[in-house]
Amino acid sequence: MRTLALVPGGIGDQILLFPTLDDLKRYYPEAQIDVIVEPRSKGAYRVSGSVNQVISFDYQDRNGPADFGNLLGIIRDHEYDLAIALGCRWSIGLLLWMSGIPIRIGYAANGQNWFFTNTVSMNTKQYTASMYHDLLKGFGINSVCPELALRVPKTDLEWAQGEQQRLGTTESGYIIIHGSSNLLAQSQGIDQIYPVKKWQQIIEDIQQKQPNLPIVLVQAPEDDPEWIAAMIQSIPDLKLTTPIDIGKLAAIIAGANLMLCTDSAPMHLSVAVGTYTIALFGPTEAKKLLPVSEHCIGIQSSSGWIADIEPEEVLKRIWGI
């Protein structure tokens, strides 16, 4: 069964789809699953164990008839049996309808129902991974959404071991911090930046109580270098790691005792590898982006601005007060 998933959005959106693709693969082990994603998100599938081919298409671009025509040709050439569409763009529904794929599953929304052979209701009030997993109901799969899981390449795990030796954390363990925002999120006005001065208060308290526990700042690909520089300048004792891809980022997070972060793709990686995670949220809702779990905590700003979360509130969650 050749299956296609059309997945607009960033790396976080791709990771949240992994349980859906993994479950589909569990029910149909011989399924060949391809995805069409934005170029910026292609790297997420380095840590997917279920996807065969990743096709790039810039959903955000001003695509003309020729662009959609080229994509339609690619889809037809693969002769897919099943297609799953995330989101509610009528143009994607039309594209799949024109492709002639026999089974086309999407959300019942925006008057595009007739483009699909099977539709499901979009429940936006739940964890996003579960909302994506609901699409499998259109194929007769009614299982519970599995937990996030990754398949990290062996070479990336070996890199992380070497990086831990370089950082001097192999014996002590470490806390990892990710608080930057990629440049695209900033250009769209998405509030993901927690002030450096407040991070400084949190880190100083940790260093006072646990002086032998290293704190590692992670610079993910596409993070804002100015924020990283400001953190290093304000907190000289910080160690810095700069993994160059998602696999290495996941591997270095997996080795940490604790992940402190804002709403970001590294947060989803931390949840997936089982690292205890405390994440700060501004306008986005924690319950939609974090599962119900003893291993992750979302701290929601009451004002909707992440900068209004006080360091004392974060420290209470760290120390379990």
- Cα–Cα distance for residue pair 300/313, rounded to 1 Å: 10
Q: Cα(205)–Cα(299) distance, rounded to whole angstroms?
A: 18
C-alpha dist (Å) from residue 33 to 2, 29, 51, 127, 221: 6, 10, 5, 23, 26
Domain annotation for the chain: domains and CATH numbers: 2-139 (3.40.50.2000), 154-319 (3.40.50.2000)
Which pLDDT score is estimated for 205? 96
Tokens (6 digits) for 269: 């990686």
Rounded to a whole number of angstroms, the CA Rg of the chain reads 21
Nearest one of 315, 179, 197, 173 to 258, comparing CA atoms = 173
C-beta atoms surrounding 161 within 10 Å: 14
Can you tell me whether residue 238 is helix, strand or coil?
coil
Would you state the pLDDT for residue 84? 94
| Exposure of 144 in the CB half-sphere (CA atoms within 13 A) | 3
Sorted by sequence, the CB contacts under 8 Å of residue 149 that are 6+ apart come out as: 18, 19, 22, 49, 272
Q: Helix (H, G, I), strand (E, B), or coil: what is residue 122?
A: coil
Alpha-carbon distances, residue 31 vs 2, 52, 106, 234 (angstroms): 6, 9, 19, 51
Backbone angles phi, psi at 300, to 5 degrees: -95, 130
Sort 83 into a burial class: Cβ within 10 Å, 0-12 / 13-18 / 19+.
buried
CA 3 to chain CA mean position, Å: 22
Tens of pLDDT, residue by residue, the chain (321 residues): 899 999 999 999 999 999 999 999 999 999 999 999 999 999 999 999 999 999 998 887 666 778 888 899 999 999 999 999 997 677 788 888 899 999 999 998 766 677 899 999 999 999 999 999 999 999 899 999 999 999 999 999 999 999 999 999 999 999 999 997 655 554 555 557 899 999 999 999 999 999 999 999 999 888 888 999 999 999 988 999 999 999 999 999 999 999 999 999 999 999 999 999 999 999 999 999 999 999 999 999 999 999 999 999 999 999 987
Residue 242 belongs to what H/E stretch?
none
pLDDT at 131: 96
Instruction: Phi first, then psi: give them for residue 285, nearest 5 degrees.
Output: -90, 125
Residue identified by tokens 């002590």 is 172
- pLDDT at position 92: 82
**Phi/psi-derived region of residue 254, left when phi > 0, alpha when psi is between -120 and 50, beta in every other case:** alpha
- Alpha-carbon span 147 to 101, nearest angstrom: 29
Per-residue pLDDT at 125: 93
